[in-house]
Amino acid sequence: MLDRIREVASRHGFQAVAFWPISPLGDELEILQQWLDRGFSGSMGYLTRQASSGMTLDTNTPWARGGVSFLVRWDELHHGSETPWDAYVASYARGLDYHRVVQDRLQAIAAEIGFSRHQVQVDATVLPERALARRAGLGWIGKNRFLTHPKLGGDVCLSELLVDQPLCSVEVEIQQAPCGDCGACMDACPTGALTPHGVDAARCLAYHTTQNRGTIPIELRGLINHILGCDLCLRACPYGKAAGEGGVSDDGFLGRLIASRDRDEFSSLAGRGPLAYVGRRTVVRSAVVVAANRQRDDLVDCIADALCTDPSPLVRAHAAWALGRFDTAVPRLLLKRRHGIEPHSAVREEIAAALS
């Protein structure tokens, strides 16, 4: 059975597979609870709710008898599906929405093997997938909190399949992280989000561009260079084997993204990719910040138009901040003109701050 699963998984593009028994998640859930108790989850309240409601394998999937963890490198998963946003997102967010791609692959594997009952897991619950993969021998969890495979590195997509048949009853040797005194990932993080106790989401740039759907803290905005995600700690890891930067061809994509004003316009650009998963307001909010930090002078007029006409006060507020990052007379003139007629107080405050 195990060799059959490995063979089918390989044909469907997965590069590593490991198996784990259904057993209590005591240690893993205790670590999660400690992380939650430190307030490191930011606004992700659903994690607290799911953990407190007893997110355990035996209570939520009592029929499950075995689990499988699958790994594939992000660059391999996205190969052949290059998109206009690749230059503006972390490696995981390139190409089509990985949730759909991986779910389809896992469903196909389950159907081919013929499990009578199964459940696919792709970032869908608070399931401690990295800890389970480590338990199964797929790799170690380093100081950057990525699961790192000894050959594939840490730039990998992790997913799971719960099945109604026992697959493994033997505990494998857990791999210890070789980090030692190395702190390259922690040094690379510009906000100090990496701590000895885990990632503090409130300081993490990836969190603010994906999970935080509100205002990005002003002290962090100048550090954001991706519309979605951040690869800095992964790239710094000597074992990370991070993929290179995405495509550099813009073809006006960032400007069109900032200029989108409704769901239809945005959907025509985002398609079925990860931008659509996050949503127009959050993506355009981040896009104006990225345009400013990359000093895209060619987009000043586009950002100014967003300040004046975008229906979201959140986008307009960040557009005001973005215009303030350009050290020329035109953006300041545009900010002054808008200040007197902007109806939303939070946006006016951002305009005033940009002009100060």
Instruction: Return averaged pLDDT per consecutive 10 residues of the chain, 356 residues in all.
Output: 95 96 74 79 70 59 91 91 88 89 96 94 79 91 94 95 85 87 96 92 94 95 96 93 68 93 94 90 98 96 97 98 94 94 97 96
Supply the residues annotated as catalytic.
123
Strand partners, 119: 162
| Number of compact structural domains in the chain | 2
Asked if residue 193 and residue 181 are part of one domain, the reply reads yes
* Residues 171, 258 within the same domain: no
**Domain identity same for 166 and 31:** yes
Cα(319)–Cα(259) distance, rounded to whole angstroms?
12
Query: Does 224 share its domain with 256?
Result: no
Measure the CA–CA gap between 178 and 139, rounded to whole angstroms: 11
What is the domain range of residue 204? 1-249
119 plus 6 within the same structural domain: yes
pLDDT of residue 23: 77
Structural contact between residues 175 and 137, judged by C-beta atoms closer than 8 angstroms: yes
pLDDT of 33 reads: 78
SS3 296: coil
Task: Quote the CA–CA distance of 58 and 26 in Å, as a whole number.
Answer: 12
Domain's final residue, options 198, 224, 249: 249
Among 222, 249, 276, residue at a domain's last position: 249
Give the closest residue to 76 by CA, choosing from 88, 89, 92: 92
Same domain, 341 and 324: yes
Do 180 and 283 sit in the same domain of this protein? no
Across the beta sheet with 118-121, the strand order is 16-21, 66-73, 156-163, 118-121
Q: Are residues 6 and 134 in the same domain?
A: yes
3-state secondary structure of 238: coil
At residue 126, the pLDDT reads: 63
Residues in the chain: 356
Question: 234 with 268, same domain?
Answer: no
Looking at the fold, whether 211 and 69 belong to one and the same domain comes out as yes
- Please give the backbone phi and psi of residue 33, each rounded to the nearest 5 degrees, phi first: -65, -40
* 239 and 266 inside one domain: no
**289 and 244 in one domain?**
no
Q: 249, 282, 299 — which closes off a domain?
A: 249
